[in-house]
Structure 1
Amino acid sequence: MNADRSAKIRYLNAYRWAMVQEQELLRQIEEARTRAERVTQALSGTPGTPGDPSSLERAVEALIDLQQRLAAQIEASCKTRCRVEAALCTVRDPRQQTILRLHYISGKTFEQIAVELHYSYRQILREYGRAMDVIECHMESA
């Protein structure tokens, strides 16, 4: 695989990685929310659990921080998706464009794409290769 194709693949994979980061932040928010609920229960006077008001404050601060990070990540993901979509639009063949979109935006494997589009796996790889030869990724804007 040549350096140009590797750079294109990294560029196109950026959206999927942005989505992975979003999902990780969502998981962390859920964990922080669960911790905050436990602290709230402890402060409500449940017998046998001493309450520390500063624990609730820390939990809320952590939750707010994570939510702000998520908002920033969502914005970055949207920008990345727009750049990737613009690159995909440089591929004129609709079949090739669909293969790239299913792979890089929807995250499907080539096997899944072959089944969905009713092509053989080898046909998908051949069309993918042709699409990667013609796609124009403007890396300087990444």
Structure 2
Amino acid sequence: MTKKEYLLQYKDAQREVDRLINERARWIARATKVTPTYTGMPHGGSGEDRMQDAVERLSEVEDELNDKIDRLVDLRREVDTAISTIGDTRLETVLRYRYINDFTLRQIARKMSYDYYYVCHLHGEALEKMTINRNFFMLK
């Protein structure tokens, strides 16, 4: 695993948390959806079963979400520690913007008032100077 791949783990974990948050919202909507029936005809009780299934699935998604959030917090700490090994605030800022805040290199250039190509150079220099504890590679 390269340094860049290591840093990208945080963005991937964040996307997974976002996906689970959206899935949780869908299951909440299903569990709380009430569809009244106005006919006098008898019908089965499948609506209650669907609600129970939705509540059970919601519980599973919330458990998975909590686990992923815990992992995300740990990974954020580890990525930030790795970035801090550079020892140059400017280079560290470029990597934090890129891999923690999910900015593009063009956005970073605008934010830092630098030329795009200079930010590309700083990004490469930062990756080169960063050191990673080899135990971090065992996380995935």
* Normalised TM-score (structure 2): 0.89
Q: Distance in 1 between matches of 2:79 and 2:96?
A: 9
For structure 2, list consecutive stretches of 5 or more residues without a partner in the other structure.
Answer: none
Give 1:47's aligned residue.
38
User: Which residue number in structure 2 is paired with residue 69 of structure 1?
Assistant: 64
1:103 aligns with 2:94: no
- The aligned counterpart of 1:90 is 85
Q: Residue 51 of structure 2 aligns with which residue?
A: 56
1:35 counterpart (24, 30, 38): 30
Between Structure 1 and Structure 2, how many residues are aligned?
133
Structure 1: 5+ residue runs without aligned partners? 1-5
- Alpha-carbon displacement from aligned partner over 1:85-121 (angstroms, at most 9, x marks no partner): 0001001111000000000000000000000100000
Task: State the 4+ residue runs in structure 1 displaced beyond 3 angstroms.
Answer: 48-51
Tell me the TM-score normalized by structure 1.
0.87
Retained in 2: the 8 A contact 1:99–1:128? yes
Does the Cα contact within 8 Å between 1:114 and 1:124 map onto a contact in 2? yes
Q: CA RMSD in A?
A: 1.5
CA distance in 2, matches of 1:46, 1:8: 58
Among candidates 113, 116, 121, match of residue 111 of structure 2: 116
| 1:12 matched to 2:7 | yes
Which amino acid in 2 is paired with 1:71? N
Q: Percent identity between the aligned chains?
A: 26
Partner SS state of residue 2, structure 2: helix
Cα displacement (A) at 1:51: 4.2
